[in-house]
Structure 1
Amino acid sequence: MAHRWTNDLSRADITPEHIYMNRRQIMAGLAGVGLAGIAGQAQASQGLTPNSWDDITNYNNFYEFGTGKEDPARYASALTTSPWTIKIDGMVDRPGEYALGDILSKMTIEERIYRFRCVEAWSMVIPWNGFELSDLLDMAGVQDSAKYVAFETLYRPDEMRGQKFSTIDWPYVEGLRLDEARHPLTIMATGLYGKDLPKQNGAPIRLVVPWKYGFKSIKSVVRITLTDRRPPTSWNKLIPREYGFYSNVNPKVDHPRWSQASERVVGGGLFSRRQDTLMFNGYESQVASLYKGMDLAKNF
């Protein structure tokens, strides 16, 4: 498949690194922690006192390390990320255990500046380093009968303490249609902000699908399976009413507990206004053809 990726974002659009990594404080301020607290966060959002990489406290979801927003940064240091292999199996010509080092030696790693949107109605622009998933699928040789791509996260309870609890049916799994997986926007990310992926952000390799909500971009991938049947996905299994298989960013489809019609840009300043959510997170011209004729309210 020809690489057709084009980018309408520039480095000027990127959410500053210290704001991305400190979005716990930023979102706390936006939620209303008091004028003095908000003013302090607004000052931080102006970039006046950026934190070092080692000092930052993440605010993200990685339930393998706990359900608290700070748990991934607190506990992910226990994760062993080298050596790392990805098992590729199912409907492929060359199934096997692929060492990450061997994969990377054959890939062209490039920076992709993508919009990223969470279901909690906030958004950022993040520079990812990675390669197109389609290139990895070509390495394994996808058979004609394959229609879907299933992904699986590492299962290692001794290192991923959250897996000791039945919050989710472990291991975490996700899936895409094959045409979605082969789209040039879909990448396997190995870094962000010009650095290797932090462990709490899905090291050493994760999926990034920028026109879908963040939870579709599965972290710490250890298995990729080609199949002719739609694979189960963790959040759809857990709460099907709230999380569908497709999970495309669609402002016309509300989450049952909140509206998806607008979003707030993290780091936009103290009095930043909410802005309209863009269909497919702003990638409508590139990906809308994948869903031609589908009812996107039914197939959410």
Structure 2
Amino acid sequence: MSRFRLPPIPSSEITPEHIWESRRAWMKRAGQSALAVGAGSLLAGRVSWGQPADGVLAGTPNPRYRVDDALTAEKDVSGYNNFYEFGTGKSDPMEYAGRMQTRPWALRIDGEVEKPVTLDIDDLQKLAALEERVYRLRCVEAWSMVIPWSGYSLSALLGRVKPTSRAKYVQFISAVQPDRMPGLSARIINWPYREGLRMDEAMHPLTMLVFGVYGKRLPNQNGAPVRVAIPWKYGFKSGKSIVGIRLLEKQPLTSWSEIAPNEYGFYANVNPTVPHPRWSQATERRIGSGFFAPRVATLMYNSYGDQVAGLYAGMDLRAHY
């Protein structure tokens, strides 16, 4: 019997078909009582804050990077996540991530750089002044959140290592801790989790290296102790608990593009005009509004079009999805 709890929405709306089909066997073994678990009871479980969330991590509010929408409740941001290293259910990260070791933590930056370096998490936080930015996060399953992150532009870090002229892409590599991440045993993904950006996307001031949320250090389930946030892209692009950043000449293979290339492209820009193969991207539901709340229209580039549309001028957004 699986140790993971069932997701609160149909699994066919969460992962590629070949994955959710394979789950049906253990769903049956879990019994009818497990199938009756609803979203409300999942969110009522204990929160695994872990060591990093104990301290305050304030940043100076930056009005340039703030949406006017009401913030998503902290309990929902910390209790409803995709973090497959801890399981496929939305509450699995909250339930199991407390065991992840986040101190000591080192991040290696190498590849097409003049100055490769390995930095301790505390040194990373001191590289630039921390600021608070309120970003919208939109998941490919058509739900969204509004989150106050603490951190600074990734470009402040990348500039320190001096990218070479051959650096065209940036790859993010997430941590693998087999004894502390029960989801690794499922082999859904060819671990470690890998994501990537084009160099100009990574250097855009909106692309953020994140250390905190709600004025506190990141909870483990939100990607402690360091993650990225790319607000105009779907949430899976924003790698959590990263231990490596590599600058590359060629476009890297990313985890979800490797699993289901027809569903998850390299760019993953929020684009309501290009439907996912199995559902529409035209509308979304804000987490915390209730499962039966009216859906709202999804905005192009997740409302950041004025800032980032120029990055994709002349591109066929259906081919480069």
* 1:195-241 alpha-carbon deviations (Å, 9 max, x no partner): 11100110000010000000000100000000110011000000111
Contact kept in structure 1, 2:97 and 2:220, CA below 8 Å: yes
Structure 1 residue 66: Cα displacement: 1.4
Confirm whether residue 292 of structure 1 aligns to residue 316 of structure 2.
no
Structure 1 residue 182: Cα displacement: 0.3
Aligned length: 260
Counterpart of 2:86?
65
Partner SS, residue 6 of structure 1: strand
Structure 1 residue 7: Cα displacement: 3.0
Contact kept in structure 2, 1:5 and 1:185, CA below 8 Å: no
Counterpart of 1:108?
129
Look up the equivalent residue of 2:71 and give its one-letter code: I
Contact kept in structure 2, 1:124 and 1:265, CA below 8 Å: yes
Counterpart of 1:6?
64
Partner SS, residue 110 of structure 2: strand
Confirm whether residue 95 of structure 1 aligns to residue 153 of structure 2.
no
Aligned with residue 164 of structure 1, among 178, 181, 185 = 185
Structure 1 residue 270: Cα displacement: 7.6
Structure 1 residue 165: Cα displacement: 2.8
Aligned with residue 236 of structure 2, among 212, 215, 238 = 215
Name the TM-score, length of structure 1 as normaliser.
0.83
RMSD over aligned CA atoms reads 1.7
Note closer, same or farther for the CA distance 1:61–1:19 as it changes in structure 2 (3 Å cut). Answer: closer
CA distance, structure 2, for counterparts of residue 16 and residue 290 of structure 1: 32
Identity %: 53
Bigger shift: residues 263-272 or 182-191: 263-272
Aligned with residue 74 of structure 2, among 12, 17, 21 = 17
Contact kept in structure 1, 2:152 and 2:208, CA below 8 Å: yes
Look up the equivalent residue of 1:17 and give its one-letter code: E
Bigger shift: residues 270-279 or 167-176: 270-279
Counterpart of 1:153?
174
Structure 1 residue 271: Cα displacement: 6.3
CA distance, structure 1, for counterparts of residue 191 and residue 292 of structure 2: 41
**What pairs with 1:1-300 in structure 2 (closer than 5 Å)?**
6-7=64-65, 9-10=67-68, 13-21=70-78, 58-268=79-289, 272-300=293-321
Structure 1 residue 20: Cα displacement: 3.3
Name the TM-score, length of structure 2 as normaliser.
0.78
Contact kept in structure 1, 2:127 and 2:157, CA below 8 Å: no
CA distance, structure 2, for counterparts of residue 19 and residue 166 of structure 1: 27
CA distance, structure 2, for counterparts of residue 271 and residue 164 of structure 1: 34
Contact kept in structure 1, 2:170 and 2:247, CA below 8 Å: yes
Partner SS, residue 135 of structure 1: helix
List gaps (5 residues or longer) in structure 1: 22-57
